[in-house]
């Protein structure tokens, strides 16, 4: 239903944020030494993967797609070597 209605259910947007220390031995009292790790709902992650698969398929067959555009293209990176 999410794909048919074009709506991502709010209950799948909620995640649990856990702070994780960046480097072992770093000062645990300094907030800058932490990075946020977000645990999302499993169904939300599955929907995200299915959406990405559909977008990749769409962009690979769309004739208006610029070849220099890399988002959602399989095996392409946003980092390119100079020509």
Taking CA atoms, 17 is separated from 4, 35, 50, in Å, by 30, 10, 24
Q: What is the mean pLDDT of each run of 10 residues along the chain (83 residues)?
A: 80 87 92 91 84 80 66 62 52
Q: What pLDDT is attached to residue 74?
A: 62
Cα atoms in the Cβ-side hemisphere of radius 13 Å centred on 28: 3
Q: What pLDDT is attached to residue 82?
A: 52
Taking the C-alpha atoms of residue 25 and residue 20, their distance in angstroms, rounded to an integer, is: 12
Q: What pLDDT is attached to residue 78?
A: 63
Q: What pLDDT is attached to residue 8?
A: 81
Angle at 72 between CA 18 and CA 36, to 5 degrees: 10
Residue 36: beta bridge partners?
19
Q: What pLDDT is attached to residue 81?
A: 54
Contact between 19 and 34 (Cβ < 8 Å): yes
């Amino acid at each position: 239903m999410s794909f048919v209605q074009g709506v991502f259910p709010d209950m799948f947007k909620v995640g649990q944020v856990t702070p994780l220390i960046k480097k072992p031995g770093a000062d645990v009292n300094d907030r800058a030494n932490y990075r946020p790790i977000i645990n999302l709902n499993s169904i939300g992650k599955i929907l995200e993967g299915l959406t990405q698969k559909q977008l990749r398929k769409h962009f690979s067959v769309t004739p208006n797609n610029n070849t220099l555009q890399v988002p959602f293209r399989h095996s392409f990176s946003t980092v390119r070597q100079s020509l």
